[in-house]
Amino acid sequence: MSSTGKTATELRPFHVEIPEERLVDLRRRVAATQWPERETVADQSQGVPLGMMRDLAGYWATEYDWRRCEAKLNALQQFMTEIDGLDIHFIHVRSEHEDALPLVVNHGWPGSIIEQLKIIDRLTNPTAHGGSAADAFHVVIPSMPGYGFSGKPTGTGWGPERMARAWAELMTRLGHQRYVAQGGDWGAFVVDQMGLQAPTGLLAIHTNMPAAVPADVNDAAQAGEPPPSELSGEERRAYQQLIRTFGQVEYARYMAARPQTLYGIADSPVGLAAWLLDHNDADGQPAAAIVAALERTSSATGELTRDEVLDNITLYWLTNTGVSASRLYWEYRGGFFNAKGVSIPVAVSVFPGEQYRAPRSWAERAYPNLIYFNEVEKGGHFAAWEQPELFSQEIRAAFTSVR
């Protein structure tokens, strides 16, 4: 990994070049894993099953090719710049279309910039993907502090609020005077904060994990109480989804309480992989979309594949960011899905595999300047990764009115 010499606000070209000995060491460590015994149940209720992990590890150690992912990254314009005392890595791909709208896209945990790679050409070059020149975006994808190639904070304070200010500074530094922002997972928290801060130039935000739950509903769900009696049928469905989700976030609670204790994910590739796999979506824990991807070796439609899952896990390993990424949960003290009070224009896409499906009624209350709302037919929590074509169509439609 390399970048040129720096000044504080300079944009330094960045190139990924992992030494071969690091890859040899990774394969050696995977092959030398000390395995536990098999789970004592027939389902996944005790965690990531032994058979699933052994199959994945066998492929990772013998057939998986990181260089393919590395080449894909290096085919893109990547940069490093210092913001608020920390090196920030980002991808910046400009569209050839003159009136393209600048867009900053925020990833989440346990993701990275790997999540967004499949949407870049679809957004910057829409005429090649069924869109028109009027749909084009200039795309900026930063790595969150402590994630991927960005710097690791050495002190506290790098939560979503500070990231929101950093992304606004990044877009200004790139010369984007008018822009929009998009996020899911932790990225949704960041764009909500951008919406609250309303920096000059930010036209609107788009979220695929809306913070739309009314305060009384959120309090009841957190406490595991019966749903408030006045909820509609759609709202009651969302409430039950929230109850299920809050019962499947042990990983988040642990990272929020004791991230430094996770030495095992810094020392064992398989330990790291299992930790990153054991998050939830609407259809299960481990996330059903990820489990399905582990059986998919290729996809003509852009659906998530085994290699793409391993690209993301391998990036965490090679950058040793398992623990540094986990600290974001410790930093954040706000609610997860509760309305935050954003008043700038907001677009919402609801994917069926999300942790909860926000009803339009809640979205309209949470975001009084709602400019777009749509329920998508398929896709889930990591929508850009799982369904890049549908996700890109949503982004085009979401921001049409602010161009």
Tell me the pairing of strands 86-93 and 179-183: unpaired
Helix (H, G, I), strand (E, B) or coil at 57: helix
Query: Which residue from 260, 239, 276 is spatially nearest to 53, judged by alpha carbons?
Result: 276
Helix (H, G, I), strand (E, B) or coil at 343: coil
pLDDT tens, 83-127?
A: 999 999 999 999 999 899 999 999 999 999 999 999 999 999 999
* 371 touches 346 (CB < 8 A): yes
pLDDT tens, 124-133?
A: 999 999 999 9
Angle of helix 269-277 relative to helix 50-62, nearest 10 degrees, comes to: 130
Helix (H, G, I), strand (E, B) or coil at 81: strand
pLDDT tens, 38-90?
A: 999 999 999 999 999 999 999 999 999 999 999 999 999 999 999 999 999 99
Tell me the pairing of strands 370-375 and 346-350: parallel
pLDDT tens, 163-177?
A: 999 999 999 999 999
- Is the pLDDT at 5 greater than 70? The verdict is no
If pLDDT is split at 50, 70 and 90, which confidence band does 264 have?
very high
Query: How many helices (DSSP H) and strands (DSSP E) are in the chain?
Result: 17, 10
**What's the pLDDT at 8?**
72
- Is the pLDDT at 3 greater than 70? The verdict is no
Which two tokens mark 173?
């530094």
**What's the pLDDT at 102?**
98
Query: Which residue from 61, 344, 64 is spatially nearest to 195, judged by alpha carbons?
Result: 344
pLDDT tens, 279-335?
A: 999 999 999 999 999 999 999 889 999 999 999 999 999 999 999 999 999 999 888
Fill in the DSSP letter of residue 101.
E
* Distance between first and last Cα of the chain: 37
Spatial distance between the Cα atoms of 35 and 57, rounded to a whole number of angstroms: 11
* 87 touches 73 (CB < 8 A): no
**Cβ of 43: how many Cβ atoms within 10 Å?**
8
Helix (H, G, I), strand (E, B) or coil at 299: coil
Interior CA angle at 205 toward 201 and 210, to 5°? Answer: 155
C-alpha 155: how far from chain center: 23
Sheet holding 101-106, edge to edge: 2-3, 12-15, 78-83, 86-93, 137-142, 101-106, 179-183, 202-207, 346-350, 370-375
Average of pLDDT values for 132-158? 98
Q: pTM for the complete prediction?
A: 0.96
As to burial, measured by CB atoms within 10 angstroms (0-12 exposed, 13-18 middle, 19+ buried), residue 344 is buried
φ, ψ at 158 (rounded to 5°): -90, 75
